[in-house]
Amino acid sequence: ETGVTQSPTHLIKTRGQQVTLRCSSQSGHNTVSWYQQALGQGPQFIFQYYREEENGRGNFPPRFSGLQFPNYSSELNVNALELDDSALYLCASSLDFKVRYFGPGTRLLVL
Amino acid sequence: GQNIDQPTEMTATEGAIVQINCTYQTSGFNGLFWYQQHAGEAPTFLSYNVLDGLEEKGRFSSFLSRSKGYSYLLLKELQMKDSASYLCAVNQAGTALIFGKGTTLSVSS
């Protein structure tokens, strides 16, 4: 167990809808990053937050957005859902960009 | 560009030794991670190399050569529970982890 939690565990949405995924980081960690993992692929970096500021972003469109709160928990928001957004969404927390510890993930299905 | 290559699949038998290779071409290199991921679960941390050389941790060892853009993960005394996907990931300038597609290891008795 890493101490990183995510909610919900599973989610089903339809195209065009919006979704919010949540992550609680491990105690003492100040950095949260989000990854999208399609079936049979490695995780793809979405973005990273350090002390409530976004400090890195991967090749994802602006409809993927996020927040980090003062307690270092985080949200990932995805607007205008597309079928290709169906994936496992992983949150990882770390202290100062070192070892990333992953949460159990949220499995999103877009119909 | 960024590119991380690792074999797609490997098979081995219980008690054997297996080496999973990873080659990378990235900018802003700041260390290399290995993660283990069982089907349907989150990746779990195995090792982190930032300097050249071998890091040993129980049955698992990881090696890094920065000049060659090369790393490997060595698993000894294989057990059935080691059947999983093994992910090589480059720490890019302290922000992104850039992952390979993973190597699916199947251990048979």
Per-residue pLDDT reduced to its tens digit, A50-59: 989 999 999 9
- Find out whether B83 and B106 touch, Cβ atoms under 8 Å: yes
Residue A1 has pLDDT above 70, yes or no: no
Residue B100 has pLDDT above 90, yes or no: yes
A98 and B99 within 8 Å at the Cβ level: the answer is: no
- Predicted confidence band at B1 (pLDDT cuts at 50, 70, 90)? low
Per the prediction, chain B carries an average pLDDT of 94
Which chain A residues are within 8 Å of B43, Cβ to Cβ? 43, 90, 102
Written in H, E and C, the secondary structure of A52-111 is CEEEEECCCCCCEEEEECCCCCEEEEECCCCHHHCEEEEEEEECCCCCCEECCCEEEEEC
Q: Using CB atoms within 10 A of its CB, is residue A47 exposed (0-12), middle (13-18) or buried (19+)?
A: buried
- Percent of chain B that is helix, strand, coil (3-state, to 5): 5, 60, 35
Q: Is B80 helix (H, G, I), strand (E, B) or coil?
A: helix
Cβ-Cβ pairs closer than 8 A, A with B, add up to 56
Rounded to a whole number, what is the distance in angstroms from the first to the last CA of chain A?
A: 32
Question: What is the per-residue pLDDT across A29-39, written as a single tens digit (0 to 9) for each?
Answer: 899 999 999 99
Of residues B41, B45, B102, nearest to A99 (C-beta): B45
Can you say whether the dihedral through the CA atoms of A26, A45, A41, B50 is positive or negative? negative
Token pair, residue B55, equals 């890091």
Report d(CA A27, CA A23) in Å as an integer.
Answer: 12
- Find out whether B102 and B5 touch, Cβ atoms under 8 Å: no
Closest by Cα among A10, A9, A7, A2 to A76: A7
- Find out whether A102 and B43 touch, Cβ atoms under 8 Å: yes
Residue B51 has pLDDT above 70, yes or no: yes
- Find out whether B62 and B19 touch, Cβ atoms under 8 Å: no
Mutate to test the interface with A, among B97, B101, B103, B104 (most CBs of A within 10 A): B97
pLDDT of residue B70: 97
